[in-house]
Amino acid sequence: MHNTFDNLTDEDLVLRVKSGGIEAFGFLVERYEDKMKRYARKFLFGYTDIEDTVQKVFIKAYVNIQSFDTSRKFSSWLYRIAHNEFINAIKKKKREPLSLFNPDVIFPHPISRDRPDDFFEQKETKEMVKKSLSKLKPKMREVIVLYYYEDLSYKEIADILHIPVSTIGVRINRAKKILKQIYGK
């Protein structure tokens, strides 16, 4: 059965799920399981049972699948659900403060470049980021995870976090500065 799904896009699979084909959803779960688990592991440092949280993400996706507009990208929609679920997990644990209001979305910022930079290419930087990620505030940590580990564009990240594209650049640059400071110590 899975062989028939191999050549289908995410959105085609969602169309099948919507019309009752639950097996197609199983295929989507397999397609995104590793990505979601990686996102959760990097974003939620020892917060909660990753397996359980990611399971909740997929179940929510299934329950709400009729709200997905197939003319849009399924991955962004799924990441959005994951973002909400992970933020809820952080709120529940109350270990890290999460402000309701983000001052960096109030004023417009110049759009910074959305191109791969050499920040993450050096071996020692990768190691430094890996070690220091947990020291970043959640909103900074999340953009770093989505941009450098999940390889998403600014636009995709903006759609997931529901914030302006220009704010993504600002957050990434701030997070990089903080990481460099931490590493400098």
Partner 1 sequence: MENKIFSKKVLEKAKELGMKPKSHFIIKTVLFALGMVFFLLFTLFLMSFMSFALRINAFWNLPKFGLPGLGMFFIGLPWILIFVSLTLIMLLYFFSKRFSFVYKKSVIYFLVVIIAVVLLSGFAVSKTGFHRELFDRAQKGHLPVMGTFYRNYSQRGPKEVSQGTVLDIERNIIFFKDIKGNEYQVIIASSTKRSILRPGDMILVYGKKDNETIWAKKILKMK
Question: At residue 153, what are phi and psi to the nearest 5 degrees?
Answer: -80, 165
Of the candidate residues 135, 162, 177, 180, the single one contacting partner 1 (CB under 8 A): 162
N-term to C-term CA, the chain: 54
Residues in the chain: 185
CB of residue 43 to partner 1, shortest distance in Å: 19
Residue 35 vs 137, nearer CB to partner 1? 35
Interface with partner 1 includes 128 (CB under 8 A)? no
User: How many CA atoms, within 13 angstroms, populate the side-chain half-sphere of residue 44?
Assistant: 27
Residue 94 vs 101, nearer CB to partner 1? 101
Q: Calculate the dihedral angle through the C-alpha atoms of 179, 101, 142, 69, rounding to the nearest 10 degrees.
A: -160
Residue 58 vs 74, nearer CB to partner 1? 58
Round to whole Å and give the CA distance between 129 and 119: 10
Residue 30 vs 151, nearer CB to partner 1? 30
Of the candidate residues 3, 7, 67, 71, the single one contacting partner 1 (CB under 8 A): 67
Of the candidate residues 158, 168, 172, 179, the single one contacting partner 1 (CB under 8 A): 158
Residues 20, 23, 27, 30, CA torsion sign? positive
Enumerate binding residues for partner 1 (CB under 8 A): 18, 22, 25-27, 29-30, 33-34, 51, 55, 58-59, 62-67, 105-109, 158-159, 162-167
